[in-house]
């Protein structure tokens, strides 16, 4: 379980023993890396294969999955390009490790690129857990999400994500046919024990 760069993204891969359920694609927040969410993945989905890429954009030395112009204002051209690159990485990793389409588990910036993947490359993911997500695209394209399961967990006191913004993302995903459960927890932008419990219970029911 070491970091490798043999595919297009530096990443970690944990093979797991559970091949009945989809693998998890772990997507870290700003300033994180491929190591950050491994422990969370093992906690919420014991035994699943884990694929954990590192975001390729550096903001003052901090890895991210796409560029932003300021907090909450995204460089959408870069976002579209990076989402396409990440979809390519998922296909490479699936082939290299013999896996089916993963369920994304993304936090903050990682949740936002996962939401962009759902909207731009829906075939890349089997579903997604979006922890503290916001709407990634001002004008999301039409997409057919065909009942794809999505769990969104927002924080009632999140200083980064306004409630209306997260609500708009849930609406956009539902309009495109995703099966969305959106909960707002008594939390800020950081994760809490409730995030762990809700994610674990939701993944167990997939
Ligand atoms: C983003 O830039 O994706 C969001 O503002 C979340 C963050 O990374 O702080």
Q: Say which residue the tokens 């093979």 belong to.
A: 15
- In 3D space, the residue among 156, 152, 184, 185 whose CA is nearest the CA of residue 171 turns out to be 152
Q: Residue 115 in 3-state DSSP?
A: helix
Whether 52 lines ligand 1, by a CB cut-off of 6 Å, is no
Residues 116/139, Cβ–Cβ less than 8 Å: no
Among residues 121, 154, 158, 195, which one is catalytic? 158
The Cα 35–Cα 183 span in angstroms is 27
Domains of the chain from N-terminus onward: 2-204 (3.40.50.1820)
Q: How far is CA 87 from the centre of its chain?
A: 12
Whether 68 lines ligand 1, by a CB cut-off of 6 Å, is yes
**Mutate which of 33, 66, 108, 155 for ligand 1 pocket (most atoms within 8 A of beta carbon):** 108
Q: What is the pLDDT at residue 1? A: 59
Q: What is the pLDDT at residue 3? A: 85
The Cα 112–Cα 106 span in angstroms is 8
The rounded Å distance from CA 92 to ligand 1 centre is 26
- In 3D space, the residue among 162, 161, 150, 76 whose CA is nearest the CA of residue 120 turns out to be 76
The Cα 45–Cα 19 span in angstroms is 12
Q: How far is CA 37 from the centre of its chain?
A: 11
Q: What is the pLDDT at residue 6? A: 87
The rounded Å distance from CA 159 to ligand 1 centre is 11
Is residue 158 flagged as an active site residue? yes
Q: Residue 14 in 3-state DSSP?
A: strand
Q: Strands 50-53, 24-27: parallel, antiparallel or unpaired by DSSP? A: parallel
Q: Residue 181 in 3-state DSSP?
A: strand
Residue-by-residue pLDDT tens, the chain, 206 positions: 578 878 999 999 999 999 899 999 999 999 999 999 999 999 999 999 999 999 999 999 999 999 999 999 999 999 999 999 999 999 999 999 999 999 999 999 999 999 999 999 999 999 999 999 999 999 999 999 999 999 999 999 999 999 999 999 999 999 999 999 999 999 999 999 999 999 999 999 98
């Amino acid at each position: 379980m070491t970091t490798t760069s043999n595919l297009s993204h530096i990443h970690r891969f944990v093979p797991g023993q559970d091949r009945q359920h989809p693998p998890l694609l772990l997507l870290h927040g700003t300033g994180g890396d491929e190591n950050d969410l491994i422990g969370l993945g093992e906690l919420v989905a014991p035994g699943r294969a884990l694929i954990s890429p590192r975001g390729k954009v550096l903001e003052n030395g901090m890895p991210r999955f796409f560029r932003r112009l300021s907090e909450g204002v995204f460089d959408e051209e870069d976002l579209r390009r990076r989402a396409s690159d990440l979809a390519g990485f998922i296909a490479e990793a699936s082939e290299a490790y013999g896996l089916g389409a993963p369920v994304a588990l993304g936090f903050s910036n990682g949740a936002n690129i996962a939401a962009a993947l759902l909207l731009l490359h829906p075939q890349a993911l089997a579903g997604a857990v979006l922890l503290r997500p916001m709407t990634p695209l001002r004008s999301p394209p039409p997409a057919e999400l065909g009942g794809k399961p999505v769990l969104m967990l927002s924080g009632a006191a999140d200083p980064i994500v306004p409630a209306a913004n997260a609500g708009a993302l849930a609406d956009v995903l539902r309009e495109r046919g995703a099966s969305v459960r959106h909960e707002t927890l008594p939390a800020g932008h950081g994760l809490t024990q409730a995030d762990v419990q809700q994610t674990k219970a939701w993944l167990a029911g997939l």
